[in-house]
Structure 1
């Protein structure tokens, strides 16, 4: 029996978390289904930012570096690792964008496999990942081998096995595909890559904070991801970067900065990298940009990743049911997996008219995302999204489709 959104919200064990985000009751926003692009800010953040300005920054001033800030990229990295990445301490830092982190990790992987000439990546990967690989290949004289995937799906271990060879240095993939929401078999693919003697870099942007991740148990080599989606770090908040412990001592990263050396304040001649994960830090880290995600980590710890994943599945299942009922009869096509075991926290629906309809939906306070060429992406953040928002959004899309084209 189909349950109503009101019933689902009434029995949602995470429902009270919605009240802990800013503007969750904003009448100008009827539904926000873009939390997988930019999460809502936690309510406590306003006071914490003010307290930081008054306190740590305003009164401690430059002393803040010696008291907390210098080590914050590492301590916050360990906290993210423990709560969302399934990773032990000393392997994760926070500080750069995902783009810069990908560049560092791919170059580090190539340096660790200097006799191999090939980089493997899929054509469906996020543009940044592809652009970075193309730039590094041109920069270093490497060859790119592309994986083609079916629409609405993603890369499998079999896909990787078909293209990988003894000349492959590194494979670059996303845990959850940014368009389809397909969740890759990280441990299975990682084993396939390792069997060929290559290394793998995983992009976790669309999975961190919404899906259980076990980097250590999965034997992942390198990983990175942004913090402004399900970790609610705010626009442009810094990414995290993970390197497996046994790879760190010999790791060579290409952006040598003063914060990544053994003794930053000695200001010595010559670059001598730090012994641990600090060697992947380059310049001065964005301390202000690290504040918001700490509030969300508290909420994740309170809710638990198992409960977050359970609600994520429930939200996407409900969205698919609504799509089948209201949008498919109007010519829409689900472009995401129906099997929850291979689906992340969002779904995409395609229709030729969606490009023209999304701006109108935004004007009406219905905020999904558009992904070319014809997809509306419904991103549901378990801690801040209600089932009613899902119903409202799909009903609004259906109403717009029923109106004649202009």
Structure 2
């Protein structure tokens, strides 16, 4: 899928033709969005899936209301983390039995990083450095800093720039590095990192790697097993459309699974949880990554989004994503050229995720004005307007209309109104 060459004749009708020819058009019916809304924040919270309310009601009224505690067996509640994990594995290129859906991304990172450092300590005790991107999602950095403080054994978190990662760590991969934690797609800029090449460079330096897939799972092709990755984490509420606060996932490569030492050794990761033994014995395989009792309602709703993602060809999703972002970038650069806007998302397809990020000195106010018009993106410091492009429910016409709305807002300084300067708790 490609967009027409930009010219004076490119207009909204050309975008409408692209939408009519879209191979993914039918998937729009799998989502429920408010009328007269262009939703460009699926990289932060995915749209509501069709049937989500009904599925939640079924779990609450029937499985909980009638089945009561019996539903741990009769409705398959106990097996949900592994069942959903298999569906995630199919999306991220993991092997069978490699993934569970459980907990939050931050908690899963803590578990994975702790286990990785313990493995490294046994093999190379002199390695005490944890590397991560300076522009990693802050929660990841905070969790690593907290873990290093808890270990209190000379561990240190060092931050590296994205350029250092892309270059293959020429300066920072020393023989002190035990673990590297990387986000696959930069949450702020949309930069995509080459998983296979980067993993290879990390392993060559003697370190292990954990990939954060929050901003890539469900938006592009991922091959964890084929890339040689050690572990990965991610959420289900962005491009996987699992619902607000839906559970995260953790993936561990087959060769490391039974060497995974669980730092949060709750009863769900016990080999025989219902023996109620006072002594912890870890389960074999993926169950050992669990901690405590699961959130069944949110997990059941998240399954709908995973089923949609498993029913689509991810290569086609990626192709449309790139075409949408190509169009967005080209329109911004041609139709908004008179304004102090910079596109910070890479132009190269190999380095671009499924969003377009632009900066403007009044970025927050501009985004507030857009949202008032029913065009929903979001804002990140400093001065970044983020536009997530979910190919399953966003089309080319929405991209055209968004840039035209931006043009009107900027041309007429509509952002310069008191109500657009007021920030809520969430931006």
TM range (shorter): over 0.9
1:239, distance to aligned residue in structure 2 (A): 0.3
Q: Is the 8 A contact 2:168 2:201 kept in 1?
A: no
Q: Over residues 217-251 of structure 1, what are the superposed CA-to-partner deviations in whole Å (9 max), with x where a residue is unaligned?
A: 11110100010011110000000100111111121
Deviation for aligned residue 1:391: 1.5
For residue 331 of structure 2, what is the aligned residue in structure 1?
Answer: 322
Q: Distance in 1 between matches of 2:395 and 2:69?
A: 43
1:12 maps to which of 3, 22, 28: 22
The within-5 A match list for 1:139-178 is 139-141=150-152, 142-149=155-162, 155-156=165-166, 158-178=167-187
Residue 96 of structure 1 corresponds to which residue in structure 2?
103
Could you tell me whether the CA contact under 8 Å between 2:40 and 2:389 is conserved in 1? yes
Specify which of 172, 192, 198 is matched with residue 207 of structure 2. 198
Equivalent residue in structure 2 for 1:75, among 83, 99, 104? 83
Count the aligned residue pairs.
Answer: 398
Structure 2 partner of 1:137: 148
Provide the secondary structure at the position in 2 that maps to 1:146: strand
Q: Judge which range, 319-328 or 226-235, deviates more.
A: 319-328
- Gaps of at least 5 residues in structure 2 are 418-427
After TM superposition, the structure 1 stretch with the greater mean CA deviation from structure 2, 255-264 or 7-16, is 7-16
Aligned counterparts of 1:127 and 1:55: Cα–Cα separation in 2: 40
Contact 1:350 1:374 in 2 (8 A): yes
Q: Give 5+ residue unaligned stretches, structure 1.
A: none
Of the structure 1 ranges 51-60 and 317-326, higher mean CA displacement relative to structure 2 is found in 51-60
Partner of 2:135: 124
1:180 & 1:213 partners in 2: Cα distance? 19
Instruction: Show the counterpart of 1:37.
Output: 44
Q: How does 1:106-121 map to 2 (within 5 A)?
A: 106-114=113-121, 115=125, 116-121=127-132
- Identify which of 193, 200, 205 aligns with 1:184: 193
SS in 2 for 1:318: helix
Shift of 1:172: 0.5
Partners of 1:11 and 1:162 lie apart in 2 by 48
Any idea what the Cα deviations from partners look like across 1:60-113, whole Å, max 9, x if unmatched?
Answer: 22112123111110111011102x111111110111110101111111111111
Match runs of 1:277-288 below 5 Å:
277-288=286-297
Whether the 8 Å contact between 2:242 and 2:306 is mirrored in structure 1 is: no
Distance in 1 (CA, whole Å) between partners of 2:250 and 2:162 is 27
Superposed counterparts of 1:258-273, under 5 Å: 258-273=267-282
> Do residues 380 (structure 1) and 389 (structure 2) align?
yes
TM-score, normalised to structure 2's length?
A: 0.90
The whole-number CA distance in structure 1 between the counterparts of 2:227 and 2:62 is 41
The answer as to whether partners of 1:353 and 1:374 remain within 8 angstroms in 2 is yes
Mapped contact 1:123–1:149 kept (Cα < 8 A): yes
- Where 1:74 maps in the other structure, the secondary structure is helix
